[in-house]
Amino acid sequence: MNAPSERPSCLVVGAGGVGVATAYSLSRSGQSVVSLVVRSDFDHVVKNGYQLDSRDYGMVEKWRPDHLFQTAEGAAQSGMFFDYIVVTVKNVPDGSTNGTVSNIIRPILESNRTILGDRVTNILLVQNGIDIEKELLEEFKEAQYKLSLLSGVQMIASTKIGPGIIKQKGQDSLSVGPFNPDDHDAIAAAHKFVSIYSNEGCNHVQYDPEVRKTRWNKLLYNATINSTTAIVGLDVVRCLEFGKERKGTEMQILRPAMREIISIAATEGIKVEEEQIDRFISIGRKLVYKPSMCIDFEKNQLMEVEVILGNPVRIAEKNGVAVPTLTVLYSLMTLLQAKVKESKGLLKFDEETLKLVEN
Amino acid sequence: MNAPSERPSCLVVGAGGVGVATAYSLSRSGQSVVSLVVRSDFDHVVKNGYQLDSRDYGMVEKWRPDHLFQTAEGAAQSGMFFDYIVVTVKNVPDGSTNGTVSNIIRPILESNRTILGDRVTNILLVQNGIDIEKELLEEFKEAQYKLSLLSGVQMIASTKIGPGIIKQKGQDSLSVGPFNPDDHDAIAAAHKFVSIYSNEGCNHVQYDPEVRKTRWNKLLYNATINSTTAIVGLDVVRCLEFGKERKGTEMQILRPAMREIISIAATEGIKVEEEQIDRFISIGRKLVYKPSMCIDFEKNQLMEVEVILGNPVRIAEKNGVAVPTLTVLYSLMTLLQAKVKESKGLLKFDEETLKLVEN
CB pairs under 8 A between A and B: 122
Q: Say if residues A341 and A359 touch (Cβ distance below 8 Å).
A: no
Residues 6+ apart with CB under 8 A from B22: B12, B86, B88, B126, B154, B172, B174
- Provide the 3-class DSSP secondary structure of residue A227: helix
- Each residue of A251-297: pLDDT tens digit? 999 999 999 999 999 999 999 999 999 999 999 999 899 999 999 99
pLDDT at A188: 97
CB within 8 Å: A248 and B334 = yes
Q: Please, which pLDDT band fits residue A308 given cuts at 50, 70 and 90? A: very high
Task: Assess whether pLDDT exceeds 60 at residue B5.
Answer: no
pLDDT in tens, A231-253: 999 999 999 999 999 999 999 99
Are A295 and A235 contacting, i.e. CB atoms less than 8 angstroms apart? no
pLDDT higher than 50, residue A4: no
pLDDT per residue as tens digits for the range B32-44:
999 999 999 999 9
Flag whether pLDDT at A2 surpasses 70.
Answer: no
On the question of pLDDT at B2 being above 50, the answer is no
Q: Which of B231, B232, B356 sits opposite A242 (nearest CB)?
A: B356
Q: What is the ipTM of this complex?
A: 0.93
pLDDT digits over A96-134, tens only?
888 999 999 999 999 999 997 679 999 999 999 999 999
pLDDT digits (tens, 9 = 90+) for B203-224: 999 999 999 999 999 999 999 9
By the CB < 8 Å criterion, does B248 face chain A? Answer: yes
Task: Give the best residue of B335, B337, B357 to mutate against chain A (max A CB count within 10 A).
Answer: B335
Mean pLDDT (chain A) is: 95
Assess contact for B12 and B23: CB atoms under 8 A: yes
> In the predicted model, is pLDDT for residue B304 greater than 80?
yes
What's the pLDDT band for B358 if we cut at 50, 70, 90?
confident
Chain A residue closest in CA terms to B250:
A331
Chain B CA closest to residue A247 = B331
pLDDT in tens, B52-82: 999 999 999 999 999 999 999 999 999 999 9
pLDDT digits (tens, 9 = 90+) for A66-83: 999 999 999 999 999 999
Phi, psi of B82 (to 5 degrees): -110, 115
Count of helix runs (H) and strand runs (E) in chain B: 17, 14
The answer to whether the Cβ–Cβ distance between A328 and B252 falls below 8 Å is yes
Helix axes A255-267, A324-343, angle to 10 degrees: 100
A239–B contact, CB cutoff 8 A:
yes
% of chain A residues with pLDDT over 70: 98
pLDDT at B38: 97
Q: What is the pTM of this model?
A: 0.94
Per residue in B117-164, pLDDT (tens digit) is 679 999 999 999 999 999 999 999 988 899 999 999 999 989 999 999
Q: How confident is the model at residue B98 (pLDDT cuts 50, 70, 90)?
A: confident
Asked if the C-beta of A227 comes within 8 angstroms of chain B's C-beta atoms, the answer is: no
Would you call A314 an interface residue with chain B, using a CB distance cutoff of 8 Å?
A: no
Of A232, A329, A334, the CB nearest to B335: A232
CA angle A83, A88, A90 (to 5 degrees): 140
CA–CA distance, A60 with A243 (Å, rounded to integer): 41
